[in-house]
Structure 1
Amino acid sequence: MLIGEVAARSGVSARMLRHYDRIGLVPPTGRSRAGYREYGDADLRRLLHVEGLRSLGLSLSEVARALDDPGFDPAVVVDGLVAAARERRAREDELLDRLAQVRAGAPTAWPDVLRTVGLLRALGPGRTPAARQRAALTTVAADPRDGAALAAALLAEDDPNAAGALRWAVVRAAAAAVPVLVAALADDDAVRRRRAVVALADVDDPDAVAALADAYVDPDPEVRARALLAGGRRGDRRAVAPLVGLVVEGRDDVEAAEALGVLAEDPGVRAEITRRVADAAALADPPARQRIAGALAEVPGDGARALLERLAADPARPVALTATAVLRLRRTGG
């Protein structure tokens, strides 16, 4: 086969075939009387192997070694290619995120784009935590449309001081920040979901409230707890049963009791709280009953007092002492 036929059958250009010949990667078997390259079936098979290896990302020198060196270890090279591909994908994902954040800022002119890009650089991981904190504290005064970029930076922030500044900024740019935070609650990364739910708990926005309610059943216990505490403080009756569950479980039980106290300001909800607490106390072990007795300090009404009187006679002394102390506080108004 002459070079034109090989190019047609393989899809490799004649120019590239000549280059392969010059570097000794795919030399033709022979030459015609007129001096033209002639390729045999074995040459064509080698060419196809070359193209297959190149499609994996191997350089021409690596392809030559793979085909000619008996000691060549393909696993090592493939591992390196996998790492390089993942790095490229991470860079592309980072670029895509940055473009999405720029677009979320609703740019109408190139100065808007450059402003958002400058903010993203100021909040980037290459800056010190103190610099990121300063950038967050000074951004909202410049343009609240940058809430999307602030929210994205918050979801990636490890430093507690910088994260606190970013949450402060996100609350003040909530209109643009909330969609990013709500979307993060569907993320596979529990850490990002935790950061999102903490930020949403501080935002007074209908979409934030709805997203927090959806997070009551999040698979991560910390996300669930943060969402439930925020929902209870906002008077969401749906949080009653799982908040009682937090008290029984001993996870954030003091904060859960405070949230139940907010909910108990509504007489209708108060009756539900008392009923659920009584049901839980009937099945709980002594440490849980003691926490329940303590939580009832936050719940007014005759139903809570009657339950405390029963717990004051509990056979477990710590439970009885806690219930007695709470009853005394209720009588004295303490």
Structure 2
Amino acid sequence: MTNGFGYQLVHRDSGSAARRGQFVTPRGAVDTPAFMPVGTLGAIKGLTIDAVRATGAQMVLSNTYHLALRPGETIVRELGGLHQFMGWDGPILTDSGGFQLFSLAKLTKINDQGAIFRSHIDGSLFELSPERAIEIQEALGSDIAMVLDHVAPLPCDLATLREACDRTILWAKRCRDAATRSDQAQFAIVQGGLDEELRLSCAEQLTALDFPGYAIGGLSVGEEPSDMYRTLDFTCPALPEDKPRYLMGVGRPQDLLEAVRRGVDLFDCVMPTRNGRNALAFTDEGPLRLRNLIHQRDLAPLEEHCPCPACRHSRGYLRHLFQADEMLGPILLTAHNLTYYQRLLAEARAAIEADQFPAFYRKKMTGWGEQID
């Protein structure tokens, strides 16, 4: 039984399914909806941990598979656990490694017992079962451990989707039974591709197992955004009202708001950091590609009133950093993009509390040049 975890629904927007909540953990409360920066190997690329805090981040994400390979969970435990290892004293969520079954499919063999990888680093064999996934995450000492799941590619046939769902449920039970730490909560992951019947069946069976939180997995893997939104339309209402809902690996700013208005609470994605390293900045007017010549003599900041360190400089200077291959460019744009995502969801929380989320949603979408239904 996990201790010190809970979800409180603070307010539901009167004009949508958007919800303002608070996810309580032993290392502090997370105001939701919230975005988790991705620190796959125990570091958010390009930023010190103080810089990550300054963006407004409340919780961060690391990865079981990658940390088990380098430096190894035993070393992390010997160095004080993941929090001390990376210097982050807030909540940490660790992904189980299930997505790597999908992303490293050419190197993987999967059956009901678990998966066998060829390491992407040196080709050595790496076995990952539900029990092993929990053993690694308990050694890392994260606050939230994701159960091991089977992600099916999209598109795929119904039989493959059904097999992945059945295996995901089987593995969730085994992960729950393998837990030994009362200070670590497990989140189950709903699979089922774009199929409504499979999604609802998977959600029903996982809900019966009474996990502290539920994730929606297997999306943002190449399907059209409209298909993802439609899947959220029928999946979110099937999840418990009194538990956090986490949409894994999503996404663009517009995807976050589309998911929030359907009732999602938590997000993670490499998009703000990866794009920051590649000279793309997110703004309320849409993405800015700073390598474009139009920014060469531009005195304006990326955004007025943004508190991030990048916005102390002109667009022209930031462009120069990238053109000159100065490492400060990716650092500053990473800080800006993560700050932008945190500001966006802080504004969404305020709009929900004021029963103004639909108007907030329309304003942001219009600024990004998106068509609104």
Q: TM-score range by the shorter chain?
A: under 0.3
User: Structure 2-normalised TM-score?
Assistant: 0.24
Which of the two has greater strand per residue?
2
Which of the two has greater helix per residue?
1
User: Structure 1-normalised TM-score?
Assistant: 0.26
Q: Which has the higher contact order (CA 8 A, sep 6+)?
A: 2
Please tell me whether Structure 1 or Structure 2 has the larger radius of gyration of its CA atoms.
Answer: 1
